[in-house]
Structures are given as structure tokens and as C-alpha cells.
Amino acid sequence: MEVLILGPVVVRAGGVVIAVDRPLERAALVCLALARGLAVPDSRLAEGLWGDEVRGRPAERLWSVVSRLRATLGAQADVVERTAAGYRCTATMSDLLAAESASARVRAAELTGDHAAVRAEVAAALGHWRGQTLADVRSAPLVAEARRLDTWRLELTTAGIAAAVESGDADEVVTELSRLVAAHPVHETLGRLYALALYRTGRQADALSSLDRLRRAVTDRLGDAGDRHAGAADAAARSAAPFGVARSHCPVSG
């Protein structure tokens, strides 16, 4: 059985989708799947479902949730089992595993300076997302995990854009960079890539203006410390703009 998490949660077995409609059961399945086959202690699973609101007798409450989940899974109920250490799930997160595998190839290609391979593997990794990670799971601990995975998604995107700029294809990514910089105004790597892409497409004045906006945004966010930090980054970016951009090696999730 597969549990797909890079978007709204999808559960399927043999290509057939299994509807896990109740939010609490869906969250329990995701919590267990994220443990990658390891048993999850009751206290941790309860915290993943109810956060700080968990009260007395969590084992009984968990038994009720897991019993309903197993009933929903029908013929696949055995993928969720009880062990001495807690509940465990043997389902695979096939989309996350595939994205992680592509991300590892991105990192290897970055180390050898193979920009074409970086771009291809970034595209392969990003192709496994179907929208916002865990879009239909709202428990607080899982929302935090979703944000972490979406941050990783942005890092992958940034790695692909950096490879495009280094390959001489700044014109292909300058519009996407504009959108990303607007959404993440204090993201230094994106800001510097945007300035570099503008410079390499003949828009030197716009490149300098974008660096000024980045500096102001960082200063507004971090105050005096941000001013000093942004000033150093600004000077580095201005001196590097005609030549290249520092690579940001893309980590494997987890």
C-alpha cells in the first residue's frame, strides 16, 4: 500500500484509491507512515494527532482511532499493526521516496558541475508534488512537517534555477525568479539569483535595484544585524553578478 503525501494525502493499493476521509484517521496514517516502518510510541502518536491538547488515557483514544483506520483500510488493514513499542505502518510513501532519490542525484550532479543533470533531476523531483504538501492534514505537528517538506521543495526549485542561470539560460527562469522573490523577499539565494539573471539578460539597472530591495527587506526583517548581514551579501552579489553565483547544494529530505 502507498501513502502519497506531496500534496493532498492519497492512499492506494494496486492502483486503487482507498478513501480515508476522516481527518483524524488520515492524520494517524500519515504519522505512522512518516516513521518509515518504525513503531511510533503512543505518546508521540497522540501528540501528533492532538498536540498539547492530549489528555488522559491516550492509549484508549489511539486504539479507537486506529481501529477505525484499519476498518477503513479494509483488505489493507494489516499494514497498520500493534507492537510492544507502539503502532507501526508498513505502507510506503512512494512519492517522497522518489523525490528523495532524485534529490540525491541533484546533489551528486551539483558536486560535478553537471548543470544539465541538475536541472533534469530537479524536474524529476518536483514532478512528484501535486500541490501543497499534506494539504488536507491540519494537526499542528504535521503542519510543521509539511512546512519542512515545502521548504525542501523550494530548495530543489532554487537548485534547478541556479543550474539554469549557470548554463546561460537566465532568460528561461527570470520570470519564475520574479514570482519567487515576490513570495520570498528575504530569501538571499533567490534574491541574488534574480539579480544575476537580470544582469545576464541585459537589465543591469534592474539587477542593482533588485539587490537594493533585497537589502532593505533583510534589514526590515532583522534590524541592525540584518543591515550588516545584507550589506555583506549585497557587496558579494554585486561583485559576483557578472561572473557566477555560489551553488546551494540541495539536501536530501530527512
Could you report the per-residue pLDDT of 187-208, keeping only the tens digit for each?
999 999 999 999 999 999 999 9
Which pLDDT does position 224 carry in this prediction? 53
Instruction: Count other Cβ atoms within 10 Å, centred on residue 79.
Output: 20
Give the whole-angstrom CA distance, residue 58 versus residue 60: 5
Q: What is the pLDDT of residue 221?
A: 80
Q: Given this model, what pLDDT does residue 140 score?
A: 79
Q: Which parts of the chain sit beneath pLDDT 50?
A: 226-252, 254
pLDDT reported for residue 254: 46
CA distance 165 to 142: 35
Sheet holding 2-4, edge to edge: 2-4, 10-13, 16-17
Q: Of 102, 124, 95, give the one whose Cα is nearest residue 5.
A: 95
In tens, the pLDDT along 218-248 reads 888 876 554 444 444 444 444 444 433 333 3
Report pLDDT for 223. 66
Cell 532524485: give the residue: 102
pLDDT of the residue at 190: 95
pLDDT of residue 57: 72
pTM for this prediction: 0.83
Residues linked to residue 2 through DSSP beta bridges, in sequence order: 12, 92
